[in-house]
């Protein structure tokens, strides 16, 4: 049975802690609840927004004049071979921790990412050399208009860097209800990211531990590195009141990459921007490098909000700031990078309201 609540503040349901209320709000702990909630919205001609853990969201200060469907489906089942079905409302890091403890590999480098399982396919979440597209076997979702349930194979999801069909061509069409992952009970865990490799190198549990120890050691080190950057939610650390990285790493052509290198040389920087191949004539540049070298510093403050003191990619609300102020700060960062390097950074979080 669903319960429709009215005028529910959303700021406490987001990691940034800003934004106004939802006109209508329904928590859904089953597929049947979601169907009922969609019927509720249709009968009243309401816009629908799907809320997971609120860690990649910017809610308008005016709030949302429609129905927020909060996803709380919490089933989590493992088969012995590593095929896992996780409800969309399962906490992502709980799922990673449980899988590491059971000796499964494939998602250990994704430790500490906030949010829920249901949002993970949306932007193909990734970190430290892994992303979910490597282990997702299928995604099950409900069509918002027809109420049909469909299971998408991994290929159907059309994953790419921070993208999927659910965030691009079929944005706002599907509500993800569960995700199936194929983890491995036999593969050796591998550290693919330089910073992680360096951190692990002097840890005996990594160099000479058992397979189970190695999996959990990767998790431990990822959590430690992330915490040093304010990327693990910690109520005592104001730098973690953010949406994580506010901007995605831009994919640019070779000529733009070369232009950025020329500008960097003129600026006399000691290291040119790191550039990773991203397809034919395309390169992924570090958004953090571009921000730092355009002159925006860690801790830069505008009104009540600021760039994280630990990581230039995170815009934070350490106190009682607003979404409007965060957007002004984002504009400032984007225009500073654009005037230095001619690249307009793309914003990562979803805006609602």
Ligand X SMILES: Cc1cc2nc3c(=O)[nH]c(=O)nc-3n(C[C@H](O)[C@H](O)[C@H](O)COP(=O)(O)OP(=O)(O)OC[C@H]3O[C@@H](n4cnc5c(N)ncnc54)[C@H](O)[C@@H]3O)c2cc1C
56 binds ligand X (CB under 6 A): yes
Residue 245 bears catalytic tag: yes
318 binds ligand X (CB under 6 A): no
Q: Which of 102, 162, 182, 347 is catalytic?
A: 162
63 binds ligand X (CB under 6 A): no
37 binds ligand X (CB under 6 A): no
User: Which lies closer to ligand X via its Cβ, residue 19 or residue 189?
Assistant: 19
Q: Which residue in 41, 68, 350, 353 binds ligand X (CB under 6 A)?
A: 350
Cα separation, 347 vs 332, whole angstroms = 13
| Beta strands across the sheet bearing 174-182 | 76-78, 83-87, 174-182, 136-143, 149-153
- The residue range among 111-119, 185-193, 205-213, 288-296 that interacts with ligand X, by the rule CB under 6 A, is 111-119
Q: Which residue in 31, 46, 96, 122 binds ligand X (CB under 6 A)?
A: 122
Tell me how far, at minimum, the Cβ of 93 lies from ligand X, in Å. Answer: 10
Tell me how far, at minimum, the Cβ of 124 lies from ligand X, in Å. Answer: 7
* Phi, psi for residue 69 in degrees, rounded to 5: -100, 115
Q: Which residue in 58, 119, 225, 345 binds ligand X (CB under 6 A)?
A: 119
User: Which lies closer to ligand X via its Cβ, residue 52 or residue 250?
Assistant: 52
Structure-token pair, residue 47: 């816009």
Residue 220 bears catalytic tag: no
> What is the pattern of x (binds ligand X, CB under 6 A) and - over residues 237-266?
---x-xxx----------------------
> Which residues, 6 or more positions from 47, have their beta carbon under 8 angstroms from its beta carbon?
41, 64, 65, 66, 67
176 binds ligand X (CB under 6 A): yes
Tell me how far, at minimum, the Cβ of 162 lies from ligand X, in Å. Answer: 7
Tell me how far, at minimum, the Cβ of 110 lies from ligand X, in Å. Answer: 7
Tell me how far, at minimum, the Cβ of 114 lies from ligand X, in Å. Answer: 4
Q: How many residues at the interface with ligand X, by CB under 6 A? A: 33
116 binds ligand X (CB under 6 A): yes
Cα separation, 315 vs 299, whole angstroms = 9
113 binds ligand X (CB under 6 A): yes
Scan residues 126-165 and list those touching ligand X (CB under 6 A).
Answer: 126-127
Closest CA to 55 of 18, 6, 88, 7: 18
19 binds ligand X (CB under 6 A): no
Tell me how far, at minimum, the Cβ of 3 lies from ligand X, in Å. Answer: 19
Give the CA angle between residues 111, 139, 54 to the nearest 5°: 50
> Which residues, 6 or more positions from 174, have their beta carbon under 8 angstroms from its beta carbon?
141, 142, 143, 144, 150, 166
Q: Which of 120, 178, 245, 294 is catalytic?
A: 245
Catalytic residues: 162, 245, 348
Binding site for ligand X (CB under 6 A): 15, 49-57, 71, 88, 113-116, 118-120, 122-123, 125-127, 175-176, 231, 233, 240, 242-244, 350
């Amino acid at each position: 049975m669903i319960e429709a609540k009215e005028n529910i503040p959303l700021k406490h349901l987001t990691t940034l802690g800003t934004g106004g209320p939802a006109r209508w709000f329904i928590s859904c702990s089953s597929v049947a609840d979601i169907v009922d909630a969609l019927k509720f919205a249709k009968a009243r001609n309401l816009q629908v927004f799907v809320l997971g853990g609120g860690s990649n969201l910017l809610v308008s200060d005016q709030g949302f004049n429609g129905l927020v469907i909060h996803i709380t489906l919490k089933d989590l089942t493992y088969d012995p071979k590593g095929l896992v079905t996780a409800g969309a409302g399962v906490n992502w890091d709980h799922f990673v921790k449980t899988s590491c403890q059971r000796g499964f590999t494939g998602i250990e480098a994704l430790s500490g990412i906030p949010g829920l399982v249901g949002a993970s396919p949306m932007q193909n979440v990734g970190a430290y050399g892994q992303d979910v597209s490597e282990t997702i076997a299928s995604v099950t979702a409900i069509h918002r208009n027809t109420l049909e349930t469909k299971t998408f194979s991994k290929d159907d999801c059309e994953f790419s860097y921070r993208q999927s069909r659910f965030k691009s061509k079929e944005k706002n069409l599907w509500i993800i209800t569960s995700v199936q992952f194929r983890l491995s009970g036999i593969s050796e865990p591998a550290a693919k990211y330089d910073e992680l490799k360096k951190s692990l190198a002097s840890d005996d549990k990594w160099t000479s531990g058992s397979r189970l120890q190695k999996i959990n050691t990767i998790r431990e080190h990822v959590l430690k590195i992330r915490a040093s950057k304010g990327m693990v939610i910690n109520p005592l650390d104001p730098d973690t009141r953010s949406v994580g990285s506010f901007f995605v790493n831009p994919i640019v052509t070779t000529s733009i990459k070369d232009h950025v290198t020329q500008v960097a040389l003129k600026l006399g920087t000691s290291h040119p921007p790191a550039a990773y191949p991203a397809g034919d004539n395309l390169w992924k540049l570090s958004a953090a490098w571009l921000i730092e070298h355009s002159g925006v510093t860690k801790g830069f403050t505008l009104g009540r909000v600021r760039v994280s003191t630990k990581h230039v990619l995170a815009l934070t609300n350490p106190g009682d700031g607003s979404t409007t102020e965060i957007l002004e700060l984002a504009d400032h960062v984007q225009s500073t990078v654009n005037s230095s390097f001619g690249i307009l950074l793309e914003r990562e979080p979803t805006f609602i309201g």
